[in-house]
Amino acid sequence: MSNATVLLTAIEQGDPKAAENLLNLVYEELRRLATSKMAREAPGQTLQPTALVHEAWLRLVGSQNPKFENKAHFFSAAAEAMRRILIDRARRKLALRHGGECEHVHLDGFEPAAPEADQQLLAVHEALDKLSADHPVEAEVVKLRYFASMTNEETAQVLNMSASSVKNYWNFARTWLFREIERSRS
Amino acid sequence: MNDSPNRESVVFTEAIHLPVAERAAYLTRACGDDAGLRQRVESLLQVHERVGDFLEQPPQNFTTAARSDGVSGEKPGDRIGRYKLLQQIGEGGCGVVYMAEQEEPVRRRVALKIIKPGMDTKSVIARFEAERQALALMEHPNIAKVFDAGATGSGRPYFVMELVRGVKITEYCDQNSLTTEERLKLFIEVCRAVQHAHQKGIIHRDIKPSNILVTTTVEGAALPVVIDFGIAKATTNQRLTDKTLFTAFEMLIGTPAYMSPEQAALASVEVDTRTDIYSLGVLLYELLTGSTPFDAGELLKAGLDEIRRVIREQEPVCPSTRLSKLTGADLTTIAQCRRAQPPALIRAVRGDLDWIAMKALEKDRTRRYETANGLALDVQRFLTDETVAARPPSTLYRFQKTVLRHKLIFGGISIIALLLVTSLVVVSGSLAKERQARREADGALKQAEADKAKAQTEAVKSEQVTQFLEEMLQGAGPSIALGRDTTMLREILDKAAIRVGKELTNQPATMAELQNKIGNVYEQLACYDQAEAMHRTALAGGRKLFGNENQEVAASLSGLGLVLLKQGKLAEAEKSYREALAIRQKLLGNEHPAVATTMKDLSGVFWKEGRLTEAAALNQAALEMRRRLLGSENLDVADSLNAVGLILDQQGKLSEAETTERQVLAMRRKLLGTEHPLIASSLHNLAMTLAEEEKLDEAESTYRETLAMRYKLYGEEHPDVASTLSGLGQVLLREGKLDEAATVSSNALSIQHQVFGNEHPGYIHALYDLGLILESRGEYPKAETADREVLAWQRKNLGDEDSQVRAALDHLVAVLVAEKKFKAAEQLLNDFLTPALVAKPQSAYFLAARAKFLARQSRWPEAAADTAAALQYCPTDHQLYHMLAPLLVEAKSLDAYRQLCQKILGQFRGTTDPFIADQMAKDCLLLPSSDADLRLVGELAETAVAAGSDHPAMPYFQCCKALAEYRLGHFNAAIEWAQKSVTEPYPDAQGMACFILAMAQFRLTHNDEAKSALDMGAKLVQSKLPQRGSDDLGVDWQGWVFAQVLMAEATGLIGSTPSTEQPSTK
């Protein structure tokens, strides 16, 4: 069994450390995948986080006799990992742009994107922490829908709820985050 | 999760679904007194209008450049190349299928499959491309054709297929009320199509009714067409793992009823053409009975794990049984759809058709039809009332044993076989076409240009084939390593070897390269004869083609060298490596990794030949070169260090060897993880050294660790497993765990026999080891058989003068003596000692061996004569002196004995070795009348006790010292030393010490003590040592002689006095 499969099993059995370990594992895999793809593919290509997540699934779990019931844990971890990756990149790019780094910064083959996009990403990220304090389910939906770019249907499958519930939560969360970010800027 | 949704969220969601005008009233109702809630929801409602598509786009910095070209999907009406999209007709995980219109060169409707936007990751593209190639390879009326392929402006690939307008085969059959016979005819066509795909190396893996559409030809005949190779196929240039799983995953969610047991197992690479056979079996079942062997709906309800369990473990009922169990109404419907009466339908299906379907549905795929054609043929036989091949399973069970053995490898290998054959065919085929084209077109082309073009083409193609084969062989490596049965791999290699030899004659360079690679795999599989043949053919071809100085020639020579080394043909191996080295040095310069490798390989030959100094020097040079070129920590350096360890071990520098081996082990673990053939081999070497260091516990546990790893890596029958078993057996033997030692060594032997046959050094070594253990266990007849076989082989292959022969001879003689087959032992020794041999120095060992044998038989003069003859050839061998002295004494050749003592002192006085000093001193002290210079003898005795003070043999040394002191007249000192020795549990030393003690006490007139010491010694001799005149004095015959001689002396001395208790004086 792969590490990921072991960890998924451990999570099911209630091992609290396993979730953190799985997150780290998935994070590393996704970061590696993203970096290598970004470096190789033609400029202008948008990489779908969802494709990356699926590929990570295949690499980490799919190749090893998976227990598919555990998919939810995996995709939740992947969404969180994706969020961290994106935030990480945004921070580093902004830092670079603002001269915040005096050392050589390795950008993993990225072109600097529009600063607004990065600002927004970071803003969403920060606001999301607040959202999850009162509305954990909605925050989870945001992670899957936004950071892992999953569809309502996919998100519904992972969270074991109906697609219309996902849609409602998503709507609420977008509005909530929009308001939060607006407030923090004013 | 949505059981207790947050109130804020619920109220908000409700509110936004209401017209704006109604919201306030709703909020009043919903929030009641909770002003905070109302305020929070209101603030959300205020911004809601402005949220727009906030967050609906994926995060922007996931674009490879700032500019985004707004990738979006195609839609009906769009054009892709010369195709106009009409409507979407299908959608899979990564691709979409459109019905499209082609306008030129002909106007026709086609199916166009394209990767979904954003799904174009590299692996998806590779998969997609593989499908297109797979389809393009096939040309069959029952398979949808590929017309065209291309890529959109944004680089997403697509391909264009024949548009099949038909209905699912099951629906078609029912709609048209086809009889069972008509259904079977359609089914045969499906089988033929699948067979075609298999012949092209393609596995469909998702055969189900919705992928088999039946259309009508212009003549009005039904034509089944297999479609959608989209998620499931093996193609020539793709690794199978990812896709296999991808497919299994989709099937599990999609159509589990058609999934084969091996797909349900979800184990990678385990899927091959027989998976399709299974699915065809399900199709047949459904065509016959109207339902699948397992109900799809029931399966899906049961949950994924249960689906997998059922498919893998549960036997379905026979089709006829299924029919007979249907309710009357259902059965009538099914029968009507087949234009039959229910009883007649059941009768028609019962028997042959039952067996055909069940054979296709076997859980164990080795018991299914081997090919789709085989299945089709059997159905055909049924239709023409011939005997079908399928039979009730019971008659197939005789295969079960073989099947079990082959279970692991069957899947992967047959794919590889198909791939290999296909690849070679494709390449040769396209080459032939190109040649043809050139012949037709280029009368004007100059020959030189043609040659150049040909060379280029060949280079490209060769590279492709080579790459392919390498991939296959890389696949083979692990499968060997994974302990899979390699029988099929061997078969494939055999076939590949023949094909390469026959079909690549027009590409001699490729041929040589492939032959080398095949040779390497043969070598890994321990098929040394085939490996040798391959490399030799490649070598001959290479030399003819390139002359002697060429990389490929060097590669052949290196490969050949390794094989020869493994075969034990050391001289030839050395020659081969030397030539490879010379070529590489010339072509690559003196400083190159390949040169270092060849040097290291050559040093391995020296090592095997026992030329340790040369081996060490060459290996050291290679090690330093590798460090210079590659750095200090890598596998090459570890490899060289490993050789350093082996050489140190062989040189007897055991603690240095252990240190080095531990260093190699640590480096390899760091570089390779916890489990790897190289780590196993490091552990094995370490265990070997530990055993030599007498750290038996540690050696045993290290061998066991090695063994566990090797079992896991190689399975149970591999020479490396055998060699670890042998090592473990030897350790167990030395630990006295004889039963387990015997078991372990027998296993080692049977593996060696299996792999090498009974003419290989590996087998002979194992047999020798086993012989030793059998001897220790007292199983002499078995030991004799083993030893005789070993000896016969060694005499034949190594010649009588080889050192291994001597060891084997000693053991056989020992066993024969133990069996009391003295005549046979003597005969054996006489066989060796021909007059011709006796005339040569090499006879010394055998003379000594016969002398030992004769001595044990108390045949003193003959033994003395043989020893004296041996000593002529080896005048510095202290052991021979230590034999001859007691022999001469027993033979009563006292003059000769005295002369010998003079020689001993001349030769060995001043030695620092306690053993030599002890033995030589004792020899000179044996008789009081030796005339030896007692001062010198005393010095030797002193050396023995001084240098050997912490040695287990110390009691012997003390005994020797006591005797020396006694002969020197130092009786008190003699008593002191003898008393130390007498307490120790070595009967011969103890006996000797008693007699010395007795004599010394007597000289001091302690007659009581003397008498009691003499009695004690006599009792010891009586009870613990063989009787005089016994037919075998044992291996310690020298100790026996010493004890006897001293007993006689003491008895003579003390017995000559009055045997009264009271001495005459006080």
Nearest CA of chain B to the CA of A23: how many Å? 20
Chain A environment of B265 (Cβ under 8 Å) = 65
Establish if A138 touches chain B: CB-CB under 8 angstroms.
yes
The answer on pLDDT for B1061 being more than 60 is no
Q: How far is A59 from chain B (nearest CA, A)?
A: 8
Instruction: Return the H-helix or E-strand segment holding B962.
Output: helix B954-967
ipTM: 0.76
pLDDT above 90 covers a percentage of chain B that reads: 23
pLDDT score of B442: 46
Q: Has residue B486 got a pLDDT over 70?
A: no
Query: CA nearest A46 in B: which residue?
Result: B63
| Closest by Cβ to B266, choosing from A38, A65, A168 | A65
Q: At residue B768, does pLDDT exceed 50?
A: yes
Percent of chain B topping pLDDT 70: 79
Instruction: Report residue B683's pLDDT band, with 50, 70 and 90 as the boundaries.
Output: very high
Q: What is the mean pLDDT of chain B?
A: 79
Return the half-sphere exposure (C-beta side, CA atoms, 13 A cut-off) of residue B444: 0
A35 touches chain B (CB under 8 A): no
pLDDT at residue A107, as a whole number: 35
Closest by CA to B60, choosing from A141, A116, A170, is A116
Residues of B in contact with A177 (CB under 8 A): 54-55
**Are B61 and A43 in contact (CB < 8 Å)?**
no
pLDDT in the model for residue B3: 40
Q: How far is B42 from chain A (nearest CA, A)?
A: 11
Q: Which residues of B624-663 are buried (b: 16+ CB within 10 A; e: fewer)?
A: ebbbeeeeeeebbbbbbbbbbbbbbbbeeebeebbebbeb
pLDDT value at position B66? 31
pLDDT tier, B866 (very low <50, low <70, confident <90, very high otherwise): very high
CB-count burial class (<10 Å; 0-12, 13-18, 19+) for B128: buried
Per residue in B577-608, pLDDT tens? Answer: 999 999 999 988 888 888 999 999 999 898 88
pLDDT digits (tens, 9 = 90+) for B787-832: 898 888 888 877 777 767 888 888 898 899 888 899 999 999 998 8
Q: Does the structure show a pLDDT above 70 at B975?
A: yes
Q: Which of B514, B551, B556 lies closest to B535, judged by CA?
A: B556
In chain A, where the domains are located:
3-185
Q: Residue B445: pLDDT band by 50, 70, 90 thresholds?
A: very low
Q: Which residues in chain B are contacts of A4 at CB distance < 8 A?
A: none
Provide the 8-state DSSP code for B220. Answer: S
- Across the interface, of A38, A134, A147, the residue whose CB is closest to B64 is A38
Strands (E), B914-1032: none
Average confidence (pLDDT) over B376-395: 74
Nearest CA in chain B to A91: B61
Is A43 within 8 Å of B65 when comparing Cβ atoms?
Answer: yes
Question: Do B13 and A160 lie within an 8 Å CB cutoff?
Answer: no
Stretch B359-385: mean pLDDT: 88
B783 vs B107, B344, B817, B844, CA distance in Å? 86, 70, 12, 26
Greater model confidence, B899 or A129 = B899
Arch. (CATH architecture) of B81-162? 2-Layer Sandwich (3.30)
Size of interface A-B (CB pairs under 8 A): 156
**With contacts defined as CB-CB under 8 Å, which chain B residues touch A38?**
64
Write down the CATH superfamily of domain B167-391: Transferase(Phosphotransferase) domain 1 (1.10.510.10)
Best mean pLDDT range from B127-141, B567-581, B751-765, B939-953 = B567-581
Question: A161: which chain B residues are within 8 Å (Cβ-Cβ)?
Answer: 1-2
Least trusted range by pLDDT, from A106-110, B121-125, B436-440:
A106-110
Would the CA dihedral through B870, B871, B873, B874 be positive or negative? Answer: positive
Question: Could you report the per-residue pLDDT of B190-229, keeping only the tens digit for each?
Answer: 999 999 888 877 777 778 888 898 988 777 788 999 887 6
If one compares B486 and B576, the residue with the highest pLDDT of the two is B576
Res B531 pLDDT > 60: yes
pLDDT of residue B973: 92
The SS3 of residue B2 is: coil
Beta carbons within 8 Å of B165's beta carbon, 6+ residues apart: B213, B215
Contacts of B1043 (CB under 8 A, 6+ apart): B988, B991, B992, B995, B1017, B1021, B1025
Nearest to B118 among A48, A117, A160 (CB): A48
Catalytic sites of B, residue numbers: 206
What residue segments make up the domains of chain B, in order of their start? 7-51, 81-162, 167-391, 401-436+460-589
Q: How far is A17 from chain B (nearest CA, A)?
A: 23
Between CA B765 and CA B755 the distance in angstroms is 14
Which tens digit of pLDDT belongs to each residue from B106-115? Answer: 778 888 888 7
Name the closest residue on chain B to residue A110, using Cα atoms: B64
User: How far off is chain B from A168, nearest CA to CA, in Å?
Assistant: 6
Q: CATH fold of B401-436+460-589, please?
A: 1.25.40
Interchain contact A84–B (C-beta under 8 A): no
Query: Does B402 have pLDDT greater than 50?
Result: no
The model's pLDDT over B140-195, given as tens digits with 9 standing for 90+, comes to: 888 888 777 777 766 677 878 888 888 889 989 988 889 999 999 999 999 999 99
pLDDT band at B867 (very low <50, low <70, confident <90, very high): very high
Contact A41/B242, CB-based, under 8 Å? no
Of B725, B728, B732, residue with least CA distance to B749: B725
Q: Is A37 on the interface with B (CB under 8 A)?
A: yes
Task: Indicate whether B399 pLDDT > 50.
Answer: no
Task: Verify whether the Cβ–Cβ distance A171 to B16 is below 8 Å.
Answer: yes
Cβ-based neighbour number of residue B451 at 10 Å? 10
